[in-house]
Amino acid sequence: MILSWQIAKRRIARKETPGVIASWSLVLMDGALLLVVMALLWAPITAWLTALLAPWAFYAALFVIFFVPIQAVLINAAIWAVFSRSQDNDTPNT
């Protein structure tokens, strides 16, 4: 999200319209970076949660810790990819 957001803001400021591959490759890069971070955190978090929580709470915690951030990052990155490809290059209200 940070990578695509920063590059998209610079492109919008320069009034540059990138191609499909140039804009959406940043979303893929954000996803890959997030995958690496989540893979590094998987073992310690699941070990800690398994020791502390009941099975239903374990799955609820995994949902909140892993699924929700992944969705937030990828949706935000996709929004910035769309804004950077828009023809009028209006900056979003964020």
Look at residue 89 and tell me whether its pLDDT is greater than 50. no
The pLDDT tens digits of the residues spanning 62-80 come to 999 999 999 999 999 999 8
The domain ranges of the chain are 2-85
The pLDDT tens digits of the residues spanning 12-54 come to 888 888 888 988 898 999 999 999 999 999 999 999 988 988 9
Q: Report long-range pairs for 22-30 (Cβ below 8 Å, ≥24 apart).
A: 23/81, 23/82, 23/84, 23/85, 24/81, 26/77, 26/80, 26/81, 27/74, 27/77, 27/78, 27/81, 29/3, 29/4, 30/1, 30/2, 30/3, 30/4, 30/73, 30/74, 30/77
